[in-house]
Chain A
Amino acid sequence: MGNGKTANETRKNQKASSERKSSKEHRNFSRKKRDSDPIKTSRNSKKPFNKHHTFSKSHSTTSHRPHSSSKSYSRNSPPDRTSSRSQTSHNPHSSSKSYSKTSQPNRTSSRSQTAHKHLSSSKTYSRTSRPDRTSSRSQSIHKPQETSDIQTKRKVKLSPKRVKGLPKIIKKTNDEITPIFHKSYYSKSPRFQPGSVHNSKVKKKSVNKKAKGIREPKFTTLNTTNVQIVHKYFETISPTLYDTLARSGQFVLYQAEGNRYEIFLVPSEISPMIKQLNKNYPIMSAGIYLGFMKRQQTRTHFERQFFLSFEGGRFLWDYVNSHFPEIKKDLQSVSLDEEGEKAFFYGRNIEMDEVISETEHLVKKKITFVLDQHGEYIGLALLMVKQAGTEKPVLGIKTTDIYSRSPHFKLSLLNLSDGGKYLRKGS
Chain B
Amino acid sequence: MVEDLDKILALAERFEYSPFMVKQIMKNFPQDYVTVLKAFAQPAPETIRINTLKITPKELKARLEAKGFKLTPVDWLDYAFHVDSSQSRHTLGATHEYLKGLYYIQSLGSMIPVHLLYPKPGDQVLDMCAAPGSKTTQIAQYMQNQGQIVAVDIKHSRLSSLISNLRRMDVRNAIVFAYDATKLYIQQLGKFRPNKILLDAPCTGSGIIRQDPSVKRVKNDSKIQRLRQQQKQLLKAGLKLLTKGGTLVYSTCSFHYQENEMLIAEVVKDVKNVEIIEPQENIGVPGFSEVENLEFGYDMLKTRRLTPHLHNTDAFFCCILRKN
- B-contacting residues of A (Cβ < 8 Å)? 190-191, 193, 195-196, 214, 267, 269-270, 272-277, 279-289, 311, 314-315, 341-342, 345, 372, 376, 378, 419-420, 422-423, 425, 427
Contact = CB atoms under 8 A, between A and B. Distances in A.
Contacts of A423: 94, 99
B172 A267 contact: yes
A422 B188 contact: no
Interface string B173-200: 1111111100101011111100000000
Contact of A277 (B174, B175, B183): B175
B178 A284 contact: yes
A378 B161 CA distance: 21
Given A193-B185, A270-B175, A273-B175, 17 more contacts: A191-B188, A214-B156, A267-B173, A273-B191, A277-B150, A277-B190, A279-B190, A280-B188, A281-B179, A282-B178, A283-B176, A284-B163, A284-B177, A284-B178, A285-B174, A289-B163, A420-B99
A310 to B, nearest CB: 8
Contacts of A281: 177, 179, 188
A288 B172 contact: yes
Contact of A422 (B150, B168, B172, B179): B168
Contact of A282 (B163, B168, B177, B187): B177
B62 to A, nearest CB: 11
The 6 A-B residue pairs with the shortest CB-CB distance in the complex, in nearest-first order: A276-B190, A419-B99, A280-B188, A195-B183, A427-B161, A285-B176
Contacts of A191: 187-188
Nearest to B150: A277
A311 B183 contact: no
Interface string B182-221: 0101011111100000000000000000000000000000
B164 A425 contact: yes
B160 interface: yes
B167 A311 contact: yes
B148 interface: yes
29 contacts: A190-B185, A190-B188, A191-B188, A193-B183, A193-B185, A195-B183, A196-B183, A270-B173, A273-B148, A277-B150, A277-B189, A279-B190, A280-B188, A280-B189, A281-B177, A281-B179, A283-B177, A284-B159, A284-B163, A284-B176, A284-B177, A285-B174, A286-B175, A287-B173, A372-B96, A419-B96, A419-B99, A419-B168, A423-B94
A287 B140 CA distance: 12
Contact of B99 (A279, A288, A289, A345): A345
Interface in B92-136: 94, 96, 99-100
Nearest to B168: A422
A285 B188 contact: no
Nearest to A287: B172
A285 B163 contact: yes
Nearest to B179: A281
A12 B117 CA distance: 105
Contacts of A214: 156
B175 A283 contact: yes
Interface string B303-316: 00000000000000
Given A267-B173, A282-B177, A378 B100 contact: yes
Contacts of A283: 175-177
Given A272-B191, A274-B175, A276-B190, A427 B160 contact: yes
Contact of B164 (A190, A196, A287, A422): A422
A51 to B, nearest CB: 60
A270 B173 CA distance: 7
A268 to B, nearest CB: 12
Nearest to B187: A190
Interface in B157-171: 159-161, 163-164, 166-168, 170
A253 to B, nearest CB: 14
B263 to A, nearest CB: 23
A34 to B, nearest CB: 56
Contacts of B170: 311, 314
Candidate in A285, A288, A315, A372 with the most chain B CB atoms within 10 angstroms: A285
Given A193-B183, A273-B175, A341 B96 contact: yes
B148 A270 contact: yes
A195 B180 contact: yes
B179 to A, nearest CB: 6
Nearest to B146: A269
A345 B175 CA distance: 28
A288 B180 CA distance: 24
A197 to B, nearest CB: 8
A189 B189 CA distance: 15
A289 B94 CA distance: 22
Nearest to A274: B175
Nearest to B180: A195
A201 to B, nearest CB: 15
Contacts of A425: 164
Nearest to B167: A311
A289 B167 contact: yes
A9 B280 CA distance: 116
A73 B53 CA distance: 76
Given A273-B175, A284-B163, A196 B96 contact: no
B284 to A, nearest CB: 31
Given A272-B191, A277-B189, A378-B100, A427 B175 contact: no
A382 B187 CA distance: 48
Contacts of A372: 96
Contact of B192 (A276, A287, A345): A276
A311 B166 CA distance: 10
Contacts of B192: 273, 276-277
A353 to B, nearest CB: 20
B29 to A, nearest CB: 36
A391 B160 CA distance: 48
Contacts of A280: 188-189
Contact of B174 (A276, A282, A286, A311): A286
Contacts of A315: 172
